[in-house]
Structure 1
């Protein structure tokens, strides 16, 4: 695990340690929670846990939480990495891209070139389908502004890579 991937894992551990036992169960509505997804990943592995979410048509809850830049959902991303396939990986890439202008300091440490869905070359290339972002130019402007505010030495390389990719990227048709 890279140094940058350690912080989200520590945050997840802290969140789970503070969660009551009942929080590991899905909400009454059947929607997954960060704690229930983390528990499923620990128990069954990332691929099986994410597959079960997809089978239950609840994976959107996960990607919606990531896209909203919710720290509890973002903290799950490193654990999800090994289980991301072509479909779930594309959804997580797009969700991370949507979270980027909101909380770049939380998103940048999650980017990892060793995992295709988390590769800055993919996430920062605004991997959106169709009309997910109706104002793409505005999105790019907001993302660039947010990234430029990140001055942390530990995030500088990934921030600069993201800015470079963002400057040359074309949206997905």
Structure 2
């Protein structure tokens, strides 16, 4: 079990680093968005186009990266949306069991299905070197690849969560204080 918990810590570190990277991307996205707005109005005033389709798409792509790569980070921190009526009455071990079963029966199969069904479209996008139809638009195939990367990261974070929940259920480890306070609020 110790080897599995070590693997869980490695996966957690990977997604933690990605999450911290995303913090900075959020600031960059805000900067690009601000420039797009200011550039549009100042550009009209001076008669010069200060924004472009490429900059607008850059803002969208950065948002896509934040959303797609942030999903595993969100799962790691147990901040995903929950609608639990029954689980709020469960003790820590029962919650761990429900989370373990949910991960194994729903999260991982769903992510695998998304990867399987999107693979062909993404491969086709790479084959034709798909580009935005807008004038001056950006290539689409790299950002589409993040669909597979995102769901793969969700799978491995799901594996990490399953390992931790199994260990909690079996009484091998105790959830950390942050996790306990979050579970208490649920």
TM-score by length of 2: 0.25
Question: Over alpha carbons, which structure has the higher Rg?
Answer: 2
Higher RCO, 1 or 2 (CA under 8 Å, sep at least 6)?
2
Greater per-residue helix proportion: 2
